[in-house]
């Protein structure tokens, strides 16, 4: 999967667009203006989930592809949750095979249950409890997501991010408009950001 990035050439300053592969943490690219070979290295906090979310942004913003934007937004959030589950297992000394890891994820339950359980590995108060303890997250919810008050965050993610994704993939429903697609993207972005805040509080680092 190509992940779009832009950055200036360190020699002439011209902004260049280039693609990073999903599994890459560094890349070399040649400036289209002066031909200088540039080298980019990414920090651990540019996780796979964030890379996929960046691709979702490109599909929505540049290509106006609402269906793939929704699918990628949900994929980014699910990928981030799975990464955090693997980090928890490794931290607790459980180095599982890929098959064992996938089996463990399935046993966590549906998306809402999975997110809840993974969040409790980072904070015993869970996703909602952690959000309530963070003034900036609470303020963001009040300003941008007022409908979320009284609703569990994981439940909202399941209904408003993953159900649209499932409707596209399982029923070929491509009738989502741009407004709906952007709402899915922004909620997935919020969910991913909170997960990373929980990770930082638990482990002191991201990635």
* pLDDT band, residue 46 (cuts 50/70/90): confident
Percent of the chain with pLDDT over 90: 88
Q: Higher model confidence: residue 187 or residue 21?
A: 187
* pLDDT band, residue 45 (cuts 50/70/90): confident
Query: What whole-number distance in Å separates Cα of residue 57 and Cα of residue 87?
Result: 26
Query: What whole-number distance in Å separates Cα of residue 76 and Cα of residue 71?
Result: 9
Taking the domains of the chain in order of start, what are their residue ranges?
1-42, 47-203
Q: Flag whether the pTM goes above 0.85.
A: yes
Query: What whole-number distance in Å separates Cα of residue 196 and Cα of residue 185?
Result: 16
Q: Which of 14-23, 154-163, 175-184 has the lowest average pLDDT? A: 14-23
Q: pLDDT tens, 50-95? A: 999 999 999 999 999 999 999 999 999 999 999 999 999 999 999 8
């Amino acid at each position: 999967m190509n992940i779009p990035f832009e950055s200036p050439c360190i020699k002439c300053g011209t902004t260049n667009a280039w693609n990073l592969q999903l599994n890459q943490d560094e890349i070399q690219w040649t400036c289209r203006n002066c031909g200088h070979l540039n080298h980019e290295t990414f920090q651990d906090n540019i996780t796979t989930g964030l890379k996929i979310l960046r691709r979702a942004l490109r599909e929505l913003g540049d290509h106006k592809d609402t269906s793939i934007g929704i699918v990628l937004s949900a994929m980014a959030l699910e990928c981030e949750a799975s990464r955090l589950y693997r980090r928890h297992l490794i931290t607790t000394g459980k180095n599982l095979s890929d098959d064992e890891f996938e089996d463990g994820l399935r046993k966590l339950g549906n998306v809402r249950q999975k997110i809840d359980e993974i969040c409790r590995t980072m904070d015993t108060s869970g996703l909602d409890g952690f959000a309530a303890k963070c003034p900036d997250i609470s303020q963001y919810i009040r300003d941008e997501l007022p409908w979320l008050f009284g609703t569990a965050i994981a439940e909202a993610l399941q209904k408003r991010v993953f159900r649209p994704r499932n409707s596209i993939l399982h029923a070929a429903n491509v009738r989502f408009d741009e407004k709906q697609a952007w709402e899915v993207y922004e909620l997935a972005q919020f969910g991913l950001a909170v997960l990373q805040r929980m990770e930082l509080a638990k482990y002191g680092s991201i990635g």
